[in-house]
Amino acid sequence: MKKSDSNEMARDNRLIDRFLEMMSAERGAAQNTLAAYQRDLSAYAAFLNAAGSGLQVAKAEHIRNYLAALDAEGLKSSTAARKLSAVRQFHNFLYGEGIVRENPATAIDAPRMRRPLPKVLTIDDVSRLIAAAEARIERLEGKARFKAKRLYCLLELIYATGLRVSELISLKRQAIAKGPQFIVVKGKGGRERMVPVSQKAFAAVQAYLAALSEEQDDDTPWLFPSHGDGGYLTRQHFALELKALAREAGLSPEQVSPHVLRHAFASHLLAGGADLRAVQQMLGHADISTTQIYTHVQTDRLRMAIETHHPLAKSG
């Protein structure tokens, strides 16, 4: 190693130490956070040194080359974004302390975060959940049977409508006043939309309401009333009941949640040939690009089917 390279690395290490001292003293960074910064910045400094540069003289081009090297390593975009955050904060520190005259990180865009594909249950999985919910009603009595009818109603409704869990649990009885074809939903931003409901789901609502009228007084406005602070069933309670039902259906509890059932609604509709715009409207998405994630799910499934079953896709 050349003496000049050794001196550059020593200076870089001193600058990293000063940055870490600032993060600890002024921002109260935890030890594990400081250790992560040190690892990321030391790797960045080593890259610069190999390119004949250093932390104090780095240019925007060096940072871009570093990000390209990270991408070539196949790192997740979230990991690359974390490393870039460390680099940015470090260069902000150098500039703020007057150690450098320019901040090379200001012109660098963050790596584009790829939206993860949603988990989706198969139609058979949902059928098993519904069958398990129906079996509960048949075998239970009293208060437990009422709760089983409520869970069955919730399950049928969320799979038939794709409502957000917050929209579902906070439904008011007047939301179903339009009759069996539609329910009125107030979504994000207070925007109302009408969502079609299947005959089967509406029948589940009617059966549940009959049981509810026997269980308690009729003075509550909520479709799924509860004694909690909000006056209606909490999303946490619904999620826990779903996971217990998943076990009874022979499914992994980690695989099942209200949000996953919303995904199943959208994915199964699109797989059946539904129009993307119609699905967007039913989901209450403001931007169709949010709905398009489900087309990627279908594309991935088709690709996997071809790779698994097509004779020309198999090697050997």
Active-site amino acid positions: 164, 188, 259, 262, 285, 294
Per-residue CA distances from 91 to 37, 74, 136 (Å): 13, 25, 61
Whole-angstrom distance, CA of residue 74 vs CA of residue 314: 25
Complete DSSP assignment for 72-129: HTT--HHHHHHHHHHHHHHHHHHHHTTS-S--GGGGPPPPPPPPPPPP---HHHHHHH
Kindly compute the dihedral angle of the four CA atoms of residues 188, 193, 199, 204, in this order, to the nearest 10 degrees: 40
N-to-C CA span, the chain: 49
Which backbone phi and psi does 252 adopt, to 5 degrees?
A: -70, 125
Whole-angstrom distance, CA of residue 109 vs CA of residue 67: 10
Whole-angstrom distance, CA of residue 150 vs CA of residue 147: 5
Residue partners of 273: CB distance under 8 A and separation at least 6 = none
Complete DSSP assignment for 241-258: HHHHHHHHTT--GGG--H
The radius of gyration of the chain from alpha carbons, rounded to an integer in Å, stands at 28
Asked if residues 171 and 224 have their Cβ atoms less than 8 Å apart, the reply is yes
Give the helix ranges, DSSP H, for the chain.
Answer: 3-27, 31-50, 60-72, 77-96, 123-139, 142-161, 165-169, 199-215, 235-248, 258-271, 276-283, 288-291, 293-309
